[in-house]
Amino acid sequence: MPRSLFQVTAAVSALALVPLATSAMAAVDAGNYRELDLFMEIFNRVKTSYVDPVDDKTLVKGAIQGMLAALDPHSSYVDELDFDNMRIATEGEYGGLGLTVTMEDGAVKVVAPTEDTPADRAGIKAGDYITHLDGKLIYGGTLDEAITVMRGPPGTKITLTVVRPGHDKPIDFTLTRETIIQKPVKWEVRDGVGIININTFSQNTGADTRAAVAAIEKELGHPPLGYIVDLRNNGGGLLSQAIEVSDVFLDHGEIVSQRGRTRADIERYYAESVVPGDLTHGLPIIVLIDAGTASASEIVAGALQDHHRGLVMGTTSFGKGSVQTLMQLGPESALRLTTARYYTPSGRSVQEGGITPDIKVPQLSDPDYRTRPVFRESDLRRHLINEIDVDDAAMEEDSNEDPRFSATAEELEAQGIKDFQLHYALDTIKRLGGGQTRSANAGGSPRSSN
């Protein structure tokens, strides 16, 4: 947190009363200067001897990026393009394809397609590798360069060449760019159940979730049998919005804590900070998660799971349990630095291990789910290590066969089931909600008598 002028002045005054340096401090300073001398020597040799002229800004930016890359995958230098990316993430509108991508060993890898976008409708999947854009090889380039090419005016076309693990040949997808409006929350009512699909945690997600709960009750004319909160392929976003969303479903207790380097850095966040009481009146809740459920999404799933407020269903989540702080450096640059780990109400860190569902349900309606490699935080180089050993077996169990889940994608499609995980959640919530409604009616509950 930036200090006031008074604090800085006081700190300088205090230093004046201390001896200049102990021998230990002097040794540390000498070590630092030697490292800086080495850096400047390399900087100057590159400037004078590299095969092509190179400007200072390029070298300094590369040095900063290299320094931060040595820490963890989420600390980075934020320049003008990154600021634009963050604006898109919070405001949610751009011309493009609807893809969340990352860089892995020089290749552009798909983290997740955004629902109901050109990429999603074309069938691009999480785990796909994009090798060419309009026939031009992009391997070895930067992620920013690839993103810049994929974005563009709505109505224009682009061809993506994709390598999909398990497929012998590359696949070409020709897509038409659209104005991608990232609606953070969508809702619907199906078979008396309220389905709330949360796609990202941008600046209005909390308010939109509260509005979705009210709209579901209004459409039905009475409370639903229960709610399904769909967090699949939700890569996260703003911590404040994860707290607001959790608060919709909880009436008391801690939602999340974040812990930095020292005990003084611990911060805790509680229910009823925004919303008084549980807006869903204690009705059954199922939270759907998968390997694309990350960060802020895991905060929500972990809070509802720890408070026994929701039944978590699906496959193990991504496992990003760190907090990044944005520190402004200039008008169009900043430092994104990992400053804390976050913990669920019971004190669990999801770092590396993710959220393990209460009921593991594979996405049987995806014909490639058995062969497509799963990509999680633990696969990223230099990821933060969980302070408690992660049970790798818990994640591996996602791929274990269960006799209940033996249907093929073709068999499910013939039955009209396009999303098996959602179908299974609906069946489960109807059983839970039906039982609650019957017992409530027997007790004369005014809410269930509508």
Q: Is 322 a catalytic residue?
A: no
Q: Is 306 a catalytic residue?
A: yes
Residue 353 half-sphere exposure toward CB, CA atoms < 13 A: 18
Catalytic option among 295, 297, 365, 448: 295
Cβ contacts of residue 107 below 8 Å, gap of 6+?
129, 130, 131, 139
Q: How far apart are CA 109 and CA 101, in angstroms?
A: 5
Q: Is 295 a catalytic residue?
A: yes
Q: Report the run of H or E that residue 268 belongs to, with start and end.
A: strand 267-270
Phi-psi region of 371 (alpha: psi -120 to 50; beta: other; left: phi over 0): alpha
Catalytic option among 306, 317, 322, 448: 306
- Residue matched to tokens 């854009």: 133
Residue 394 CB neighbour total at 10 angstroms: 14
User: What tokens were used for 21?
Assistant: 């340096």
Cβ contacts of residue 293 below 8 Å, gap of 6+?
231, 232, 233, 234, 301, 314, 317, 318, 354, 355
Nearest to 344 by CA among 302, 401, 284: 302
Strands 76-78 and 333-343, sheet pairing: antiparallel
Catalytic option among 320, 322, 349, 365: 320
User: What tokens were used for 331?
Assistant: 């008008």
User: What tokens were used for 404?
Assistant: 């209940």
Residues with active-site annotation: 295, 306, 320
